[in-house]
Amino acid sequence: AQHHAERCDMIANACGPAPQSVNDLVPVLFKGKLDAHEVSFAFSEALAHANYMAAKGDLNWVEEGERLKLIRT
């Protein structure tokens, strides 16, 4: 549970100043070099946290051009 709360705090802080894509959030949550397999898992985890936070109302999805990004509410 603490791991999940820490990840959500990291995402909220990253999405506070400016909208972030899920791809932008991967290096926020995962430091260091990731191989292709790790990147796919990292992206999936970032997306799952983002969707959870959006469903709770902590983040909003916004469109920037053709990209969907997240902003803290």
- Residue 68 has what pLDDT? 97
Please state, in angstroms and rounded to a whole number, the distance separating the CA atoms of residues 5 and 32.
21
Please determine, for residue 1, whether its predicted confidence score (pLDDT) is greater than 90: no
Q: Which amino acid is at 24?
A: D
Q: Which single residue is written with the structure tokens 């549970």?
A: 1
- Residue 30 has what pLDDT? 96
- Residue 15 has what pLDDT? 97
Query: 19: helix, coil or strand?
Result: coil
Q: Dump pLDDT digits (tens) for 13-64.
A: 999 999 999 999 999 999 999 999 999 999 999 999 999 999 999 999 999 9
